[in-house]
């Protein structure tokens, strides 16, 4: 596994409200077309197609029967990953690095057959937990509350994360929510589940994301604006909420450590130029700072207070607007990769930073909520 792997194509549909009435595989089709056009390829140039998604969310059994074909997988090797699209990217990376394929198309989508909050209840233990009504947002709130109680983080400090990300998203034509919010608006928004308020939480967006990966030889033939994957790592935390410390993101810390080791990064705050993290709530972005080694445990709030993660700060985080501005469940992690890669390519539009040579993208599992986590971290570098 010595061959390097690069991103050579990126496709992202417009992200819309859950009222969008398109079928889930139509999002994959549009994103795949955009990615192929971006890479200057057609379907025949792709060796394997990796789709992601969950049957429960899509409202279909074996839902990849439709997504694989829509993504260009007809008469091709194809596979399905029942996770966020960033995990499908990890699988495609391994297949190319192992020498099995040269070009892989990875697709992911956000869909709204019904409320994700309702569907998410089925992922929890059916005997002891599910009857209590535990869901995606409740598990997020439990984890945020554990963090708040341990370190004394305030709602106002979390609100400043929402203000930063929604402000960034307002200038991003690819984002779902494009309206800035204030600290006062965030703190006065409706309570969801303590300590979460409405504006601490993301929308439910629909749309598609696709990324094309290629081996080193193929990437050099395909594109002069390659984005190399120099580090990648993933980890899975305990499924049981009561068997771990909810005040920290242990699986993200493990995934990031693996990615940093592979990319040769020892001081991420100084060596990275950008980070796109899966801010599934404003509190979780603060927790991610600590898991990623950007701040000591309990010290993340200082970064947001000092403006270190703002667009002009020491390490800008979520210049795209993050998940708080666009959250296609099932594709939000892959979207972080796409947005970070656009920054490395210098093609992020109004959000483009002056110079991004090395960026981090982070995605987490959506069906397992936040407390039962699967995390993936990816380090991207320019050509």
How far apart are alpha carbons 374 and 358 in whole angstroms? 24
Q: Tokens 């409320």 belong to which residue?
A: 115
pLDDT in tens, 250-269: 999 999 999 999 999 999 99
Q: How far apart are the C-alpha atoms of 38 and 32, rounded to whole Å?
A: 10
Whether residues 83 and 183 share a domain: the answer is no
Q: What is the CATH number of the domain that holds 362?
A: 3.40.47.10
8 A C-beta contact, residue 358 and residue 272: yes
Tell me the two tokens of residue 259. 């990615």
Domain boundary among 190, 222, 254: 222
CA proximity to 18, closest of 141, 107, 118: 118
> Is residue 95 located within the same domain as residue 149?
no
Number of domains the chain is built from:
2
Are 306 and 287 part of one and the same domain? Answer: yes
Q: Are residues 130 and 256 in the same domain?
A: yes
Rounded alpha-carbon distances, angstroms, from residue 37 to 64, 110, 231: 23, 21, 26
Write down the pTM of the prediction.
Answer: 0.96
Are 194 and 70 part of one and the same domain?
no
Judge whether residue 194 has pLDDT over 60: yes
Residues 144 and 19 in one domain: no
DSSP state of 317: B
pLDDT of residue 370: 55
The reply to whether 263 and 131 lie within a common domain is yes
Residues 137 and 58 occupy one common structural domain: no
Final residue in a domain of this structure, among 222, 250, 278: 222
* Three-point CA angle 97, 100, 103, nearest 5°: 75
Check whether residue 234 and residue 306 sit in a common domain.
yes
pLDDT value of residue 253:
97
Q: What average pLDDT does this structure show over 56-69?
A: 80
Regarding whether 306 and 191 lie in a shared domain, the answer is: yes
Please say if the pLDDT value at position 80 is more than 80: yes
Q: Report how far residue 106's alpha carbon sits from residue 51's, in angstroms, rounded to the nearest whole number.
A: 6
pLDDT category, 20, cuts 50, 70, 90? low
Its domain, for residue 236, covers 117-203+230-382
Among 222, 253, 271, identify where a domain stops: 222
Q: Half-sphere exposure of residue 166, counting CA atoms within 13 Å on the CB side?
A: 22
pLDDT band at 369 (very low <50, low <70, confident <90, very high): low
Band the pLDDT of 331: cuts 50, 70, 90. very high
Q: Report the range of poorest mean pLDDT among 53-67, 180-194, 282-296.
A: 53-67
Same domain, 300 and 314: yes
The encoded tokens of residue 346 equal 């210098």
88 and 158 housed in the same domain: no
């Amino acid at each position: 596994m010595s061959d390097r792997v690069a991103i050579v194509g990126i496709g992202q549909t417009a992200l819309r409200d859950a009222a969008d009435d398109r079928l889930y595989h139509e999002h994959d089709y549009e994103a795949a077309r955009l990615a192929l056009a971006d890479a200057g390829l057609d379907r025949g140039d792709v060796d394997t197609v990796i789709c992601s998604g969950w049957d429960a969310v899509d409202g279909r059994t074996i839902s990849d029967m439709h997504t694989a074909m829509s993504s260009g997988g007809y008469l091709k090797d194809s596979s399905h990953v029942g996770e966020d699209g960033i995990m499908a990217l990890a699988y495609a990376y391994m297949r190319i690095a192992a020498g099995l394929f040269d070009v892989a198309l990875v697709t992911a989508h956000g869909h709204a057959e019904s409320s994700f909050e309702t569907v998410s209840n089925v992922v929890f233990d059916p005997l002891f937990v599910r009857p209590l009504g535990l869901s995606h947002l409740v598990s997020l709130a439990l984890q945020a509350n554990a963090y708040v109680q341990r370190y004394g983080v305030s709602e106002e400090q979390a609100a400043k994360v929402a203000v930063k990300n929604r402000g960034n998203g307002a200038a991003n034509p690819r984002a779902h929510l494009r309206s800035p919010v204030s600290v006062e608006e965030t703190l006065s928004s409706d309570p969801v589940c303590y300590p979460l308020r409405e504006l601490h939480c993301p929308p439910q967006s629909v749309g598609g994301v696709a990324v094309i990966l290629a081996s080193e030889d193929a990437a050099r033939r395909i594109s002069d604006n390659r984005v190399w994957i120099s580090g990648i790592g993933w980890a899975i935390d305990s499924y049981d909420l009561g068997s771990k410390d909810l005040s920290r993101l242990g699986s993200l810390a493990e995934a990031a450590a693996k990615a940093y080791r592979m990319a040769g990064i020892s001081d991420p705050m100084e060596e990275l130029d950008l980070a796109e993290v899966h801010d599934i709530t404003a509190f979780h972005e603060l927790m991610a700072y600590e898991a990623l080694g950007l701040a000591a445990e309990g010290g993340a709030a200082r970064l947001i207070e000092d403006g270190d993660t703002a667009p002009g700060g020491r390490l800008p985080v979520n210049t795209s607007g993050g998940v708080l501005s666009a959250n296609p469940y099932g594709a939000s992690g892959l979207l972080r990769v796409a947005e970070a890669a656009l920054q490395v390519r210098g093609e992020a539009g109004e959000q483009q930073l002056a110079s991004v040579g090395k960026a981090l993208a982070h995605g987490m599992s959506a069906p397992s909520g936040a407390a039962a986590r699967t995390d993936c971290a990816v380090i991207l570098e320019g050509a």
